[in-house]
Amino acid sequence: MKYILVTGGVISGIGKGIIASSVGTILKSCGLHVTAIKIDPYINIDAGTFSPYEHGKSFSLKFPSSCEVFVLDDGGEVDLDLGNYERFLDIRLIRDNNLTTGKIYQSVINKERRGDYLGKTVQVVPHITDAIQEWVMKQAKISVDDDGVEPQVCVIELGGTVGDIESMPFIEAFRQFQFKVKRENFCNIHVSLIPQPKTTGEQKTKPTQNSVRELRGLGLSPDLIVCRCTTPLETSVKEKISMFCHVEPTQVICVHDVSSIYRVPLLLEDQGVVNYLRQRLNLPVEMRQRQMLTKWKEMADRSDRLLEHVSIALVGKYTKLSDSYTSVIKALQHSALAINHKLEVKYVDSADLEVKTMQEEPVKYHEAWQKLCSADGVLVPGGFGVRGTEGKMLAISWARKQNKPFLGVCLGMQLAVCEFARNVLGWEDANSTEFNPETKHPVVNPELKHHFEAKGLHFVGQDVEGERMEVIELEDHCYFVGVQYHPEFTSRPIKPSPPYFGLLLAAAGKLQSYLAKGCRLSPRDTYSDRSESSSPEVDILELKLASLYINRQTLEVHTPAQPDSCTGWQEQFSIRAPMDLTLWQYQFRIIMLGDSTVGKSSLLKRYTEDMFLESINQTVGVDFYVHFLEVEPGVRVKLQFWDTAGQERFRSVTRSYYRNSVGGLLVFDMTSRDSFDHIKEWHAEVCERVQPHKVLFVLVGQKSDRDAHGERAVRREEAEKLAGRLGMPYIEASAKSGHNVRESFELLTRRVYQGLLSGEVQLMEGWDGVKCAAPQALRLQRASGSKPGTAPGNNKKCCG
């Protein structure tokens, strides 16, 4: 058995769980059987009694924090990191894979009470440390795969940070453990933070040096140092860490912010982690291309290039802390990715849908209903307590009557039954005895099954004893399903959960097509286990489609060599490849302008990452973001955003970026009069520097959510008047609530695209405001008589 211990330094919540999961993933891709253990130093026995507002408030560099309690196959209620292990490694863990201080002390105290220690004084060393080692060695041998094979590698994550008083017994246990199992069977990966203060932009190594020094002082020496940073690690920084931390430069691994957590295993693979572990632990691994990792790369690439959106209204009572529904969101993301859509989750507090809110806070009430009604599908997840249940039933009723795709999970299913009983069966006080013990119609009752089925609500799934109704489905509805169990806990990135998958298919309008194909996706969707082919050879063949590219000098289409059985394959795709497989036809450079603190970066984060942070570091100079958008069928645009600093001291830097921009979002804070008054200056400054080119603008009033609180300092009429005077449209948005964020960016993008079609914007050599990626594709479009991508007068500039 090989043991890999993952420790963390500097701060908690740095991403040890994702790193541990990623290490396990790349080892499993080599054909090894991998298990995982999470150690939590808190004294709680398990995570079952944690409040979602209490557990796991963590620092995150685009890695998700842990606030949800994850439920395992055997009912164990554990830390969310075990959910990451299961999703990444596609394994089934049990409650003993989560080791806590409470469990260890309980075990030792029980032994002492039974007299197992023969009257000896029970101490932290050796009794607690021995118990930790025995637990790890015993649990590491338990199979976590369906084939029942004993694992070869155990990845152990130690929660918290090195130096915490709570984790000292565990550190000491592993100090002893490394000698017990021998050096060739144990290694330590230490995850540490490399901060990069915005004021200097310099990557700082001192926190990592101190963290490693402390770890060494406790008797553990890291074999790999994984550096969490916002940008790729500079060579000089890597060499400095190597020198001061007594490791080779190749043992310093950079894990910087990436577009998706699916890219983390690929980062580790690219930096030789598998090769190092193979040599360090004598692993029986062949260094060859691995299909599992190929699928991960395809999945990560797909995640980055999604163009179509699908929105789901999540109606719950803990929506102020979205991480309370982490597994639900993951299940939705897995399904959205499988159908090639970018997921947009609209969080709706169920209490805001109720009549009481309409009377007390009408603005909040109407905003909640607007979110619900604008979504493509509705999800009511599990929950506890009576608060918000009436609002959930109102949402369920609306979805049923409007033929809107709906999925109810656990409590969501029970409330769907209650809603149906009230509004279809006519039992006005129908309820669950959990909420109203005195109800005359306790409808969560198998004896009433025939009443519901007579009206079209069928119970299509039961438990193995046939006593508990597990799945409901409404006839003559596009998708109305409820499940008593929690399918989100078994969803995997390449094996999306069927109930969630069905919801996303219905919300995207693809369910009937999917069913007509025999419940298979397109063969092009090769990364997912729901693709049309289950043959590994065909999977690999299809993945090669993504490697088609255009040689811009010769305008030839290149394809990988194919076996004889694929005769005609190249001819079939040689014409389609430029348009179908090029990620974008145009690139627009968009600049973000406005005073400091108006929320430019927050708008960008909300649009590109669907993320909002209450506190965000100020931009130093210019930050860069990329997003893809389909402006019309078959025409994809790569949006390259330049987020400029609003402070005066950075103007000399930011001004140099104006000239190569084709679009600009002029942003002011609706609660700040000064930021609005400065808009004319920003506009004039850009116009002065872009000649002879032209920048098209949209004026954005940011922080529209403050209007409801009476904090508006700029009237809409005067903002519209200014926009009209400057020749641009005006829109109000809120990065915090998500209101009109997507509309703001898409309004500007379509304005630039229309300008390109009309000739107002022109493609010119030496100017990067607009770029054309696939000239041959455009020629082929025109030859077939389809709509050109540029104005006729500009054809030569684009196509030569």
Residues 196, 338 within the same domain: no
CATH number reported for the structural domain that contains residue 43 in this entry: 3.40.50.300
Any domain includes 800: no
* DSSP secondary structure letter of residue 663: E
Q: Return the closest-CA partner of residue 597 out of 664, 651, 671, 652.
A: 671
Q: Quick one: 470 exposed, middle or buried, by C-beta within 10 A (0-12, 13-18, 19+)? A: middle
Question: How many structural domains is the chain composed of?
Answer: 4
Residues 598, 476 within the same domain: no
E strands present in 603-706: 622-632, 635-644, 663-669, 696-702
Cβ-contact 58, 12 below 8 angstroms: yes
What does pTM read for this prediction?
0.63
Question: What integer pLDDT is reported at residue 529 of this predicted model?
Answer: 53
Residues 705, 607 within the same domain: yes
Any domain includes 521: no
- Residue given tokens 């919300």 in the structure block: 507
Domain termination residue (choose one: 289, 317, 349)? 289
Domain termination residue (choose one: 221, 255, 289)? 289
| 527 contact partners, CB below 8 Å, separation of at least 6 | 295, 296, 298, 299, 302, 494, 543
Residues 600, 479 within the same domain: no
> CA torsion sign, 612 to 615 to 619 to 623?
negative
Residues 273, 332 within the same domain: no
Q: Which residue in 172, 354, 488, 732 is the catalytic one?
A: 488
Residues 597, 703 within the same domain: yes
Domain termination residue (choose one: 289, 320, 341)? 289
Strand partners, 61: none
Token pair belonging to 128: 């607690």
746 is catalytic: no
Q: Give, in degrees to the nearest 5, the angle at Cα 441 between 436 and 446.
A: 105
Any domain includes 794: no
Any domain includes 536: no
E strands present in 329-425: 341-349, 377-380, 406-409
Question: What integer pLDDT is reported at residue 608 of this predicted model?
Answer: 83
Instruction: Look up the domain containing 155 and give its range.
Output: 2-289
Any domain includes 541: no
Residues 152, 32 within the same domain: yes
Any domain includes 542: no
Q: Which residue in 190, 441, 477, 486 is the catalytic one?
A: 486
Any domain includes 108: yes
E strands present in 484-577: 549-551, 556-558
Alpha-carbon distance 246 to 212, whole Å?
A: 9
Cβ-contact 748, 665 below 8 angstroms: yes
Residues 594, 653 within the same domain: yes
Q: What are phi and psi of 511, to 5 degrees?
A: -65, -45
Question: What integer pLDDT is reported at residue 483 of this predicted model?
Answer: 92
Any domain includes 356: yes
Cβ-contact 344, 306 below 8 angstroms: no
Residues 150, 236 within the same domain: yes
Collapsing DSSP to helix, strand or coil, 778 comes out as helix
CATH number reported for the structural domain that contains residue 466 in this entry: 3.40.50.880
373 is catalytic: no
Residues of the chain with pLDDT under 50: 56-66, 523-524, 531-582, 619-621, 648-654, 774-800
Residues 21, 170 within the same domain: yes
Q: Which residue in 166, 367, 410, 458 is the catalytic one?
A: 410
| 149 contact partners, CB below 8 Å, separation of at least 6 | 33, 143
Q: At what angle do helices 291-304 and 326-338 cross, to 10 degrees?
A: 90
Alpha-carbon distance 437 to 433, whole Å?
A: 4
Burial 94-117 (b: 16+ CB within 10 A, else e): bbbbbbbbebbbebbeeeeeeeee
Question: What integer pLDDT is reported at residue 173 of this predicted model?
Answer: 95
Cβ-contact 326, 345 below 8 angstroms: no
Q: Quick one: 56 exposed, middle or buried, by C-beta within 10 A (0-12, 13-18, 19+)? A: buried
Residues 471, 362 within the same domain: yes
Cβ-contact 296, 265 below 8 angstroms: yes
441 is catalytic: no
Residues 215, 346 within the same domain: no
> CA torsion sign, 439 to 441 to 442 to 443?
negative
